Structure 1
Amino acid sequence: MIFISTIFSCKSQNSLVSIGYGVNLTGLERTWEFPEFDLGDLKKKLLILENNGVKEIRLPLSFNYHFESDPHFPKKIKRVIAFCSRRGLKLVLANFDHQLTEENADQQTNKIIDQWLILLDFLPKNAQNVYLEIVNEPTVSPTTWHRVSNQIISEIRKKNNAISIVVGASNANSMFELSRMEPYPFENLIYTFHYYEPYIFTHQGTSWTGDQHATVDIPYPYDERKMPNLSPKSKETAGEVNFRDYNKTGNLVAVEDKISQIAAWAKTHGVALWCTEYGVTVNADHDSRVNYLKDVGQILTKYAIPSFIWEWEGNFGVKGLIEISSK
């Protein structure tokens, strides 16, 4: 995968930050918004990203929702891939909302396999621009995930032994779980992790993560003079401990310490490694968001890890935060 170099022009700063990255083009995974797979609208968004120098796109999709609500879903995916191929865009198809649990692991695994096999019927055998991310952020136990993921990859390989497959670890694509894994016995795999450390900063004020992240106005990097008081809601939660330790976790050194470890794992095993999500909520202030994206992007680039910012538009959206232009 080519690592794109773009220029972030920060509204409140004079400096230009050069970062290599891809972007998550979100929306079609948001089942609670009943998203329509509008092919024309999606192509327009892809063109906007391309015009801003972005050539690598991760497309989160709720397979369960779109397979059930749109009989033309596989054909639309085929047309999206063809469109991206013509324009030289790399596309990651990421399977969200898979509903995989310990209780339904066998049944749901068969469903996930069936869905991928249906899509493979619509994809060219030698597609060079498309990557299949079999399951986003699995939360089943490591033992169950090892069994399940082996089944999914094996069945995909029986149908297509060349297409690139992206796979992460349990505990929601945890880099720590990934570092404990042994690589799978398959070719052309890309291992992925998500990076949102420290969560006390990146998820501040996000309602869906609970009271532990109720404290807002947390700066990045850590600056004692700018630190807010701990929210009363966060007391006696994990957020209280994370807030106390933020002076150790909220800086470039801590970012590199974590990412360097998973980079070392990939180097030891000789496998490809991506970070398919990193980002920070719009609840953080502008300068802190820019500082964080700069630091994480810098370290990912240092260790040659292709990465995808979460997300172009949405609760973590970078559109409007920074202007992007091709270098």
Structure 2
Amino acid sequence: MNFGNALDAPPGEGLELSERYFEAVRQAGFDTVRLPARWAGHAARTAPYPIDPVFFARVDRAVGLALAHELAVVLDLHHFHEMQDDPAGNTDLFLALWRQIATRYADRPSRLWFELLNEPRPPMTDEQWNALVEPALAVVRESNPTRTVVVGPTAMNDLAVLPALRLPDDPHLAVTIHYYAPFAFTHQGAHWVAGADRWLGTSWGSAADLAAVEADLRRAADWAGDAGQRLFIGEFGAYERADPAARARWTRAVRQTAERLGIGWIYWEFGTDFGAYDPAADAWREPLKEALLGPDRGTATPS
């Protein structure tokens, strides 16, 4: 389960991560949480680029709560938009952030994973991203020689560009993709997507729809098998303005297909606009919960 729109939200905004949310996730049967964090938004812009200790304390608390509730954790670097726009100009900051994060959590259990960068995207190119992965991994390895580090492809972690991803020779890597296809269904009415209101009313669930999910995720699984890499879906979900029954159908189909193909998953997200949980009611949205944790469930762990 992703705790999105929390540590990655602008200062003073977003979901407050109550301990009861970690309890609810664990009691429901989830075994992993992803903690997107807006590190660059809380760091100085001059060397050595120190991260605000108040923000570090917020992340410390979230990591500690997750681990205390026996959850695995994927801690990522989220919303670093400057990195996408100007990789060369932000490389020093990127490496400095990871040196601080890695050192801070070096003594945490191995079930804490580091994800180098959420959704690398244009104008960053494949070549630029591939060139950054090795030095970033080297920085992490200074203090965490065997911790699992997560890397995804460009185009916002699109599975279609997995073949362009070049990974260092390191036995402690995992690869992530994000899956929101078809976008006109999963993002209908999303206020941050231009023209998304035109998609309102888009449904999902035909035989062709199911076949498309199968084809997409099989292609990703085949790549992982050929590359000898662990693979998981770090984000998938449908926005709240889609029909609830169709959201549940899509969520179940993606989850079932991923599990059948040996792909782990982490749902986007817990308690805001894609949320499987309703914080106001302090209760799960049962159709989505059942779609994720139904009796047919295999394993959800990204391993």
TM-score by length of 1: 0.77
> Structure 1's 101 and 86: CA in aligned 2 closer, same or farther, altered over 3 A?
closer
> Structure 1's 188 and 141: CA in aligned 2 closer, same or farther, altered over 3 A?
same
Indicate the residue corresponding to 1:137 in structure 2.
119
Indicate the residue corresponding to 1:99 in structure 2.
81
Counterparts of residues 204-223 of structure 1 (less than 5 Å): 204-211=188-195, 214-222=198-206
Indicate the residue corresponding to 1:51 in structure 2.
27
Indicate the residue corresponding to 2:99 in structure 1.
117
Cα deviation for residue 118 of structure 1 reads: 1.1
Counterparts of residues 241-320 of structure 1 (less than 5 Å): 248=208, 251-319=209-277, 320=284
- Three-state SS of the structure 2 residue aligned to 1:137 is coil
Q: Which moved more, 1:48-57 or 1:210-219?
A: 210-219
Cα deviation for residue 32 of structure 1 reads: 4.1
Which residue identity does 2:120 align to in structure 1?
P
Task: Name the CA distance, whole Å, in 2 between partners of 1:32 and 1:122.
Answer: 22
CA RMSD, aligned part only?
2.4
> 1:206–1:214: 8 Å Cα contact kept in structure 2?
no
Using the aligned pairs only, state the percent identity: 22
Cα deviation for residue 163 of structure 1 reads: 1.1
- Cα shift readout 1:57-99 (whole Å, capped 9, x = no counterpart): 0111111224468423334433433333332110111211112
Cα deviation for residue 124 of structure 1 reads: 3.6
Task: Name the CA distance, whole Å, in 2 between partners of 1:256 and 1:207.
Answer: 29
Which structure carries more strand by proportion?
1
> Structure 1's 269 and 30: CA in aligned 2 closer, same or farther, altered over 3 A?
closer
Counterparts of residues 77-92 of structure 1 (less than 5 Å): 77-92=59-74
Indicate the residue corresponding to 1:195 in structure 2.
179
- Cα shift readout 1:263-300 (whole Å, capped 9, x = no counterpart): 00100111100100011111111110111011111100
Cα deviation for residue 148 of structure 1 reads: 1.4
Task: Name the CA distance, whole Å, in 2 between partners of 1:201 and 1:36.
Answer: 24
Indicate the residue corresponding to 2:281 in structure 1.
none
> 1:28–1:62: 8 Å Cα contact kept in structure 2?
no
1:155 paired with 2:139, answer: yes
Which residue identity does 2:6 align to in structure 1?
L
In the TM superposition, structure 1's runs of 4+ consecutive aligned residues that sit over 6 Å from their partners are: none
Which residue identity does 1:199 align to in structure 2?
F
TM-score by length of 2: 0.83
Greater RCO, CA 8 A, separation 6+ = 1
Task: Name the CA distance, whole Å, in 2 between partners of 1:184 and 1:75.
Answer: 32
In structure 1, the gaps of 5 or more residues are: 1-22, 223-246
Cα deviation for residue 213 of structure 1 reads: 5.4
> Structure 1's 48 and 103: CA in aligned 2 closer, same or farther, altered over 3 A?
closer
Indicate the residue corresponding to 2:13 in structure 1.
35
Which residue identity does 2:203 align to in structure 1?
P
In structure 2, the gaps of 5 or more residues are: 45-50, 278-283, 296-303
Task: Name the CA distance, whole Å, in 2 between partners of 1:135 and 1:266.
Answer: 19
Task: Name the CA distance, whole Å, in 1 between partners of 2:160 and 2:197.
Answer: 22
Which residue identity does 1:256 align to in structure 2?
E
